Amino acid sequence: MTTGAGAQGVQALQGILAAENAAVYGYGLAGAQLSGSQLAATQQDWNLHREARAAVASMITARGGTPAPAAAAYRPPFAVNSAASARALAARLEDGLVQAYLGLVAVDNRDLRAYGADEMQAAAIRAASWRGTTVAFPGLPASALR
């Protein structure tokens, strides 16, 4: 049985796995509306998220947990029927990953915290690239700011 920081870690990893599964599905929706270099970027990010979800599932298993399965389908937060909405969806998916990996940073475990911080940086960079702008506090809700 996993306890303490271990249980916290598995819980945070399950949140990341859910976000990675949503990203894999969502990038498929986005790719259908994009072409050229943006489609190539979509394919690159889609592959990256497929690898990431496998890695996170392995981390959950290694800690005694059972990776939650992906849903059969995910409802996008808005209609994805243009290149602009596809880019907005990609940015939204990466924002979700930034939040999920930030959850891992709260776990009192040196390795998991470092892993979460590194991965949230990568997701924040992808989100900024799709959105075209940077933000001051990636992943932090307004309620966490003073």
Partner 1 sequence: MTSRRAVPRRRVLTAGAVALPLAATASCGVPEALRKPPGLSASVQTLLLSITAEQALVDDYQAVIRRYPQLSGRLDSFLSQHRQHLAQLQGRLVVPPHVTMSPIPAPAAPGPSSPSAAGSAGAAVARLVKAEQDAAAEQLDRLTGAPAALAQLLASIAASEATHAVALGQA
CB-count exposure of residue 74 (10 Å: 0-12, 13-18, 19+):
middle
Does position 51 interact with partner 1 (CB under 8 A)? The reply is no
Does position 108 interact with partner 1 (CB under 8 A)? The reply is yes
Query: For partner 1, how many residues bind (rule: CB under 8 A)?
Result: 30
Does position 135 interact with partner 1 (CB under 8 A)? The reply is yes
Does position 144 interact with partner 1 (CB under 8 A)? The reply is yes
Among 7, 39, 48, 105, binds partner 1 (CB under 8 A): 105
Q: For partner 1, which is the closer residue by CB, 80 or 112? A: 112
Does position 145 interact with partner 1 (CB under 8 A)? The reply is yes
DSSP-assigned letters across all residues of 103-117: HHHTSS-HHHHHHHH
Does position 138 interact with partner 1 (CB under 8 A)? The reply is yes
- DSSP summary character for residue 1: -
CA–CA dist 108, 113 (Å, integer):
7
- DSSP summary character for residue 32: T
Does position 48 interact with partner 1 (CB under 8 A)? The reply is no
CA–CA dist 53, 6 (Å, integer):
19
Does position 121 interact with partner 1 (CB under 8 A)? The reply is yes
